[in-house]
Amino acid sequence: MKVEIWSDVVCPWCYVGERRFEAAMEGFAHRDAVEVVWRSFELDPTSTSDPDGTQVGPDDQARRLATKFGAPLEQGREMLRSMTATAAEVGIEMRFDRTVKANTVDAHQVAHLALATGGPALQAAVVERLMKAHFTDGEAVGDRSVLVRLAAEAGLDADAVGEALKEDRYLGEVRADEAEARALGITGVPFFVIDRKYGVSGAQSPEVLRGALEQAWSERTPQLITAPAAAGSPATADACGPDGGAI
């Protein structure tokens, strides 16, 4: 069974959703038969990367959120506090005082390179490293030299990453994912497509995600139907959207 996850590495709910999905998979009896593939979704394709890697202060983040929702600055601050607390519940240290503004198209190219090179397991490791780099470590994930280093830390060959980025080798795959997202009506991430039957929007709880996995699995495997026994016989009986959310 295949699960495709549309996400962006600068989307905080995608990072939380990743951890919740991991928890859902831990309790799913058929997890070894599930292939997980990460798909590209840029929250803001027009965003530019900070060339100096300057970390954005938390009040700047809060102000941006407040402006987006037409709310006072204090409400923006409360949104960040709430997001930080939610992330901590799944073992993520969100450091909004360290994040660096980034365009993520190259990060998505690296994720596709990982999938092509080492399959879903390597891709998952790269995606996790990039999210942690952005939200916890304050790394500039829009900088190609930084991406080369981070990808190497996750298991990719540094020279191969550098060459792929120089050639924009996986840009076509990124654009194809984004076109498919539009065709599927995906407007926010994370978005989980399970076996091309079920779509789950947002960083849902592990229980909701596991339920969707179990439902999809039950519909793809033959079900044993036992006829009633004859008389005397034994019987057995929780998003980030395109208009904002990148932090």
Q: Which 3-state string (H, E, C) describes the chain? A: CEEEEEECCCCHHHHHHHHHHHHHHHCCCCHHHCEEEEEECCCCCCCCCCCCCCECCHHHHHHHHHHHHCCCHHHHHHHHHHHHHHHHHCCCCCCCCCCECCCCHHHHHHHHHHHHHHHHHHHHHHHHHHHHHHHCCCCCCCCHHHHHHHHHHHCCCHHHHHHHHHHCCCHHHHHHHHHHHHHHCCCCECEEEECCCEEEECCCCHHHHHHHHHHHHHHHCCCCCCCCCCCCCCCCCCCEECCECCC
Query: Model pTM?
Result: 0.88
What is the model's pLDDT at position 229? 46
Q: Domain coordinates of the chain in residue numbers? A: 2-55+98-220
Q: Encode pLDDT of 8-53 as tens digits.
A: 999 999 999 999 999 999 999 999 999 999 999 999 999 888 767 6
Across 192-196, average pLDDT: 96
The pLDDT of residue 234 is above 90:
no
Instruction: Considering the domain delimited by 2-55+98-220, tell me its CATH architecture.
Output: 3-Layer(aba) Sandwich (3.40)
Task: List, for residues 82-93, the tens digit of each pLDDT value.
Answer: 999 999 999 999
Q: What is the pLDDT of residues 85-126, one digit of tens each?
A: 999 999 999 999 899 999 999 999 999 999 999 999 999 999
Instruction: Express as a percent the part of the chain with pLDDT over 70.
Output: 87
